[in-house]
Amino acid sequence: MYLHLVNGRGGSLLAEHYTRDVGKALAIAGRLESAGPRPNVTRSGPNYVVYIAMADLLGLAEKDEAIRKAIALYLAEKERHAEAEGVCRKNPEHPFFIAMC
Protein backbone atom coordinates (compact mmCIF):
# COMPACT_ATOMS: atom_id res chain seq x y z
CA MET A 1 0.00 0.00 0.00
CA TYR A 2 1.07 3.56 -0.61
CA LEU A 3 0.62 6.54 1.67
CA HIS A 4 -1.20 9.54 0.22
CA LEU A 5 -1.69 12.96 1.82
CA VAL A 6 -5.02 14.46 0.76
CA ASN A 7 -5.48 18.27 0.73
CA GLY A 8 -1.93 19.20 1.69
CA ARG A 9 -0.81 20.03 5.21
CA GLY A 10 -4.19 20.25 6.91
CA GLY A 11 -5.68 17.24 5.18
CA SER A 12 -5.98 13.56 5.78
CA LEU A 13 -3.52 10.70 5.40
CA LEU A 14 -4.61 7.54 3.57
CA ALA A 15 -2.99 4.21 2.80
CA GLU A 16 -4.03 3.14 -0.71
CA HIS A 17 -3.65 0.20 -3.05
CA TYR A 18 -4.73 0.36 -6.70
CA THR A 19 -5.73 -2.66 -8.77
CA ARG A 20 -7.77 -3.27 -11.92
CA ASP A 21 -9.24 -6.52 -10.62
CA VAL A 22 -12.33 -6.19 -8.41
CA GLY A 23 -11.79 -9.67 -6.99
CA LYS A 24 -8.26 -8.80 -5.92
CA ALA A 25 -9.50 -5.53 -4.38
CA LEU A 26 -12.13 -7.34 -2.34
CA ALA A 27 -9.63 -10.01 -1.26
CA ILE A 28 -7.20 -7.32 -0.05
CA ALA A 29 -10.03 -5.57 1.79
CA GLY A 30 -10.98 -8.85 3.45
CA ARG A 31 -7.44 -9.50 4.65
CA LEU A 32 -7.14 -5.96 5.99
CA GLU A 33 -10.48 -6.20 7.78
CA SER A 34 -9.42 -9.41 9.51
CA ALA A 35 -6.32 -7.54 10.76
CA GLY A 36 -8.39 -4.79 12.37
CA PRO A 37 -8.85 -1.68 10.20
CA ARG A 38 -11.99 -0.94 8.21
CA PRO A 39 -10.84 -0.76 4.58
CA ASN A 40 -12.87 0.96 1.89
CA VAL A 41 -13.10 -0.07 -1.76
CA THR A 42 -14.00 2.44 -4.43
CA ARG A 43 -13.68 2.78 -8.17
CA SER A 44 -11.31 5.33 -9.66
CA GLY A 45 -11.46 5.31 -13.46
CA PRO A 46 -10.40 1.85 -14.66
CA ASN A 47 -8.99 0.97 -11.21
CA TYR A 48 -10.34 -0.10 -7.87
CA VAL A 49 -8.82 1.57 -4.83
CA VAL A 50 -8.60 -0.15 -1.48
CA TYR A 51 -7.81 2.42 1.18
CA ILE A 52 -7.55 2.80 4.92
CA ALA A 53 -8.72 6.10 6.39
CA MET A 54 -6.56 8.18 8.70
CA ALA A 55 -8.20 7.09 11.97
CA ASP A 56 -7.63 3.39 11.26
CA LEU A 57 -4.15 4.07 9.90
CA LEU A 58 -3.18 5.86 13.12
CA GLY A 59 -4.59 2.96 15.12
CA LEU A 60 -2.34 0.58 13.19
CA ALA A 61 0.62 2.91 13.74
CA GLU A 62 0.08 2.73 17.52
CA LYS A 63 0.42 -1.05 17.35
CA ASP A 64 3.19 -1.44 14.73
CA GLU A 65 6.56 0.31 14.80
CA ALA A 66 7.18 -0.29 11.07
CA ILE A 67 3.96 1.51 10.12
CA ARG A 68 4.78 4.35 12.49
CA LYS A 69 8.23 4.77 10.90
CA ALA A 70 6.81 4.63 7.36
CA ILE A 71 4.31 7.38 8.19
CA ALA A 72 6.99 9.53 9.83
CA LEU A 73 9.32 9.17 6.82
CA TYR A 74 6.52 9.96 4.37
CA LEU A 75 5.46 13.09 6.24
CA ALA A 76 9.07 14.26 6.62
CA GLU A 77 9.60 13.88 2.86
CA LYS A 78 6.41 15.84 2.15
CA GLU A 79 7.60 18.61 4.46
CA ARG A 80 11.00 18.81 2.71
CA HIS A 81 9.25 18.93 -0.66
CA ALA A 82 6.96 21.76 0.50
CA GLU A 83 9.98 23.70 1.80
CA ALA A 84 11.79 23.23 -1.54
CA GLU A 85 8.74 24.50 -3.42
CA GLY A 86 8.66 27.57 -1.17
CA VAL A 87 12.30 28.35 -1.94
CA CYS A 88 11.65 27.94 -5.67
CA ARG A 89 8.68 30.32 -5.50
CA LYS A 90 10.72 32.96 -3.67
CA ASN A 91 13.68 32.76 -6.09
CA PRO A 92 12.22 31.96 -9.53
CA GLU A 93 14.97 33.71 -11.55
CA HIS A 94 17.99 32.34 -9.71
CA PRO A 95 19.94 29.93 -12.01
CA PHE A 96 20.35 27.28 -9.33
CA PHE A 97 16.63 27.13 -8.61
CA ILE A 98 15.66 27.22 -12.29
CA ALA A 99 17.51 23.94 -12.79
CA MET A 100 16.15 22.43 -9.57
CA CYS A 101 12.52 23.51 -9.92
Residue 16 belongs to domain with CATH number:
3.10.28
Q: Cα 70 vs. chain centroid, distance in angstroms?
A: 10
Residues 39 and 16: their CA atoms lie apart, in Å, by: 9
| Amino acid in the structure at residue 100 | M
| The model's pTM | 0.72
> Domains in the chain: how many in total?
1
Residue closest to 41 by CA, chosen among 55, 27, 60? 27
What's the domain range around 76? Answer: 2-100
| Res. 93 pLDDT band, cuts 50 70 90 | low
| pLDDT tens, residue by residue, 23-68 | 999 999 999 998 888 999 999 999 999 999 988 988 888 888 998 8
HSE of 94, CA atoms in CB hemisphere, 13 A = 9
